[in-house]
Amino acid sequence: MYQGLLNGLYAVNNITTQQGQVNYLQALQEDVRSLRRAFTVYPVAFDYTNNKIQASYLLTYFPHYTELLQVALNKTNSAIANENINRLLLFGSGPCPEIIGYLKYLNQHNANNGRTIHATIYDIAATHWQYSRNIVFQNLIPTIKRQSTINHSANDLRIDNPFGNVTLAQEKTIIVFQNCLNEITEQKHQTVIDNFVKLYNALASGSYITIIDLSEYGS
């Protein structure tokens, strides 16, 4: 996975020599430190528009985050894999490690055969994360999707009206909140709770909601 991420970063930055690769990675060291510091403060805030910060995120956090949904779904063994759920709704997904996790889960249970998976992404910086998503979709997903097709759309999340005109009740869906609650300020807690209730009430029968996050955040 790391090599795929590195290849994508080198390509998008037009780095073609070994020395250029070394220089690029060395130049990211301060951005990695800055990102790690940002994750020690609640609410978490960092500059999503900075491509060097995104590159640091891909190399330091993304690989581990691809494993979390796979581990969570494996709590059901192969039950969800056998239900043929092909719609994902991802909140705070950034560069979409959850899609990698879902594909790995399906592959593990031999259930990834010619599916068409639709992923809808909601993120407060969905437009800016396109830089990283392109790297993931071009360099990682093709290596594990097998014969399946992955379609995705990204939406900039508005806390006061996150779903727009999306219709949720038409088919079974897997909803994922992964490592994003730490970016919600206390002033927005009730709004988020209200929206969560609306989301729950709108889901088709047989859908799943998965919340993967730390259990407590200090204020």
**Parallel/antiparallel/unpaired status of strands 87-91 and 116-123:** parallel
User: Is residue 161 over pLDDT 50?
Assistant: yes
Q: According to the model, what pLDDT value does residue 105 have?
A: 96
Q: Any idea what the Cα angle at residue 36 is, between residues 96 and 156, rounded to 5°? A: 35
> In this predicted model, what pLDDT tens digit does every residue of 201-218 receive, in sequence order?
888 999 999 999 876 555
Per the prediction, the chain carries an average pLDDT of: 89
Contact 18, 153 (CB under 8 A): no
Contact 152, 119 (CB under 8 A): yes
> In this predicted model, what pLDDT tens digit does every residue of 88-145 receive, in sequence order?
999 989 999 999 999 999 999 999 889 999 999 988 888 899 999 999 999 999 999 9
pTM for the full model?
A: 0.90
> In this predicted model, what pLDDT tens digit does every residue of 69-83 receive, in sequence order?
999 999 999 999 999
Domain boundaries, the chain: 2-212
The dihedral sign for the CA sequence 157, 159, 161, 165: positive
Matching CATH number, 2-212, of 1.10.3470, 3.40.50, 1.10.287, 2.60.40: 3.40.50
Contact 90, 58 (CB under 8 A): no
**Parallel/antiparallel/unpaired status of strands 208-212 and 116-123:** unpaired
